[in-house]
A and B are shown apart, each in its own frame.
Chain A
């Protein structure tokens, strides 16, 4: 789910950037460092334009200055039970991996409907019901999150396909 969130970030700036363009330097730094990063709870998708920069504070000894930036960003946080779309990245005998943006999810054998079977002899191997449902690398797929766990900068998810309207999306 997407949220609008107020966030704060301390940016350290080298003295060589002090000058009339300091604001744009801070902005650039903020965008490169924060956009796309994951805190383990949520991913920062997009930083909005309006942000406040505090007065800089020179750090003793180094000459660098710290600026505290308050900004608003669109963040994305997955929830257990959420349905989402992703792309299959890798297919195994025990299931397959799906990338949903910054979240990597695994759909195990137990979470795949019984009519879809693993075909190891296909090149490359795939999960298929021998009809129009084929799951291979690059397939767009809709899954539901069954379990979620976050580490410091990473999230893991278990997905399921065993419910209505889940599975490979028709191109």
Chain B
């Protein structure tokens, strides 16, 4: 250890004599050298006169460390001007690189002691925790690097990589509902086959839900044992879960009873410091080149490049992840049918569309902070880390709240027993179907069609996710070691050549040969959807940054580009099959653009292959196909159409929120709309009279007016509720069929919706029919954001140009 001049001396100081020679032993607080310093002293003489004199006073410098003096950087007579100058090098007998509970593991000394000589606290020498199951054991940076180097050599020797395994919904699924136990004991039950291998456990120190005997039922992903058997020959596996330690250990006992796959390599929430994120550096502080992660959520890993995202294992429908209440909230995407019936039964993927993760990390429950997509490469900036740890520290009440939330989930599962209810519902359906005709039931559930006389089961034991994970892991392993051997043999050849050329052979470090998973994996993934330009429609909720949404980030990591609108370069439109958005219609006119459902994307990203689109294509009406492509697809740059498409898409996605509205809200909205519309028409009129000189505009002033009103409202609310029935926005449908559609739509709606229509009529605007077929007319009815509107009114002038462009486009269309 180098001792430097401390900041608390009276500089400049002059060294007088060194007390120790090199190779001398030195004790802590024994003198190292003597020095003198200058200071002003007040001296008095015998006459009582006082005067200040500059004096040189001697002092002693004490050693702040034990050890042996190896080297002096000063000699007698040296003047030290400032703090931070090297004085002496002392070799310590122990550098306290491993500390347990602030005790040095090598010498047993207490590291927390602080005295007058302490410059740097000993506890700060070891700050890295790389132990799975203990938070008290810390090591220094050098020690961590050394340990990792050893581990790397061992792994390379055994031709293995490290694999971080998530538990909940990746390899197992857990529920607390005791219905499972009843089904398990009852061979007659239709679910018996699926639940017979479910294992259960209780946690001794479990005070969750304040129920003494809380049973957890764990279903292993089908084929888990074989999966572990095969994968453990290629990977050294670690568990990294956001569940508690007790839970993680209980589950580990179930999935790995002989402790041969994981051993003690289990990391739980209790040792993770933060319950918001998982961080690879927690286990591999200096080097993550050989670590691969499997997890069903990418956001808590900050979209790390080491991550192999796996399809969610959702065995108990509705149970979700019982430990997820501690994680950042998952944002629900617009949901499709709960269990999509897929064309190929062999590639059944759980309805992962539900599991759209939000990209926000909420810090201590405060308003969510969005992480820019660029920063999401698995590396947290120091500031972010700090923020998160701060958040974790002060968020006692947040933690309590989370615990309560978890309790609530568990209590719900225990009391309401949603699975039992669902099964009952299914049974009732079955009975009804049996009476009517069996064919209905057959369509309802293909898996059990051969004995559809029986009751149908709510649980399906048909998950094949592990096969795909295994395939991906195999490919990574192969790619890694192919590259490793190639590099090494190549390097050796080079070395021989070097020797022949009589140059001094430089020994290359092992690092040079070891490939980096962070480079290999993205390279493999980028090829999958390379060249695809994807547009989302009806998938990502309104108000969310599409480029930063989970789906977009996911598909982008596979080499595809995401654009907001249908353009010339678009190759795929990923749409919600339940709705026909403008984008779908736009794309339908071009046979080369493939309109697929989200399942296609999930398949591609799961099997890491460009899957054939045919089974996932969304049926498009012949009418839409036939529509003449008059409006050539425009590039992103053109603001009018671009914006239109973007907003419109967003609108359709609000449908979900729409359905949840109560009748009161509707009535309220109706009133608001009325007010707003009246206000607008006033403004429009004024504006019209002053600035309207263009002939085109005045010719069709009625049309423009109505249009302008609509347009403005659309701009006014990008983030909040907005609605459009996509069917309505189709300009190619003639007016009679339009009327029919309108009628149909009205019938479909809840009764209170009629209020809204009335509001529209009474607004004094010309009825849509007179202005000809027009987009977005329904917007009027559902469009409410007075606040945003008011704000928008101020820059009416700015809108003018946009409106004109829009209008002219419309004209040319017609």
Which residues of A are in contact with B by a Cβ distance under 8 Å? 80, 90-95, 97, 104, 106, 108-111, 120-121, 123-125, 137, 146-149, 151, 154, 156-158, 160
Contacts and interface: CB of A to CB of B under 8 A. Distances in A.
B150 to A, nearest CB: 7
Contact of B259 (A80, A94, A123): A123
B133 A90 contact: yes
Contacts of A94: 98, 105, 131, 137, 139, 143, 147
Contacts of A91: 264
14 contacts: A93-B147, A106-B136, A111-B105, A121-B158, A123-B260, A124-B263, A137-B264, A146-B107, A147-B104, A147-B108, A154-B101, A156-B100, A158-B103, A160-B108
Contacts of B108: 80, 146-147, 158, 160
Contacts of A110: 105-106
A95 B264 CA distance: 13
B98 A149 contact: no
B137 A106 contact: yes
A101 to B, nearest CB: 16
Interface secondary structure of A, over-half rule: strand
Interface in B125-166: 131, 133-134, 136-137, 139, 143, 147, 150-151, 154, 158
B272 interface: no
B526 to A, nearest CB: 34
A160 B108 CA distance: 9
Given A93-B147, A108-B98, A120-B154, A156 B103 contact: yes
Contacts of B264: 90-92, 124-125, 137
B263 to A, nearest CB: 4
Given A156-B100, A156-B101, A147 B110 contact: yes
A12 B551 CA distance: 57
Contacts of A149: 101-103, 110, 112
B350 to A, nearest CB: 32
A154 B98 CA distance: 19
Nearest to A137: B264
A121 B157 CA distance: 11
Contacts, number: 84
B743 to A, nearest CB: 68
Contact of B109 (A147, A151, A156): A147
B720 to A, nearest CB: 49
A108 B151 contact: no
Interface string B258-287: 111001100000000000000000000000
Nearest to B113: A149
A124 B98 contact: no
A146 B100 CA distance: 12
A156 B259 contact: no
Contact of B105 (A93, A106, A121, A123): A106
Nearest to A96: B264
Contacts of A121: 154, 158
Which of B102, B104, B105, B154 neighbours the largest number of chain A CB atoms within 10 Å of its CB? Answer: B105
B260 to A, nearest CB: 4
A95 B150 CA distance: 14
Given A104-B101, A137-B264, 4 more contacts: A92-B131, A147-B104, A149-B103, A157-B103
B420 to A, nearest CB: 37
Which of B112, B131, B143 neighbours the largest number of chain A CB atoms within 10 Å of its CB? Answer: B131
Nearest to A159: B108
Contacts of B110: 147, 149
Nearest to B258: A123
Interface in B288-309: none
Nearest to B108: A147
A93 B151 contact: yes
Given A93-B147, A121-B154, A147-B110, A156 B102 contact: yes
Nearest to A80: B108
A108 B263 CA distance: 19
B101 A108 contact: no
A97 B151 CA distance: 20
Nearest to B105: A108
Contacts of A109: 98, 105
Contacts of B100: 106, 108, 156, 158
B134 A90 contact: yes
A137 B249 CA distance: 14
B160 to A, nearest CB: 10
B282 to A, nearest CB: 15
8 nearest CB pairs, A to B: A156-B101, A147-B108, A108-B105, A146-B108, A124-B263, A106-B100, A123-B260, A110-B106
A106 B258 CA distance: 25
A148 B112 CA distance: 12
B114 to A, nearest CB: 14
A20 B263 CA distance: 54
Contacts of B107: 146-147
B235 to A, nearest CB: 14
Interface string B88-105: 000000000010111111
Interface string B753-791: 000000000000000000000000000000000000000
A14 B264 CA distance: 45
A92 B136 CA distance: 14
Contacts of B263: 123-125
Contacts of A151: 101
Contacts of B150: 93
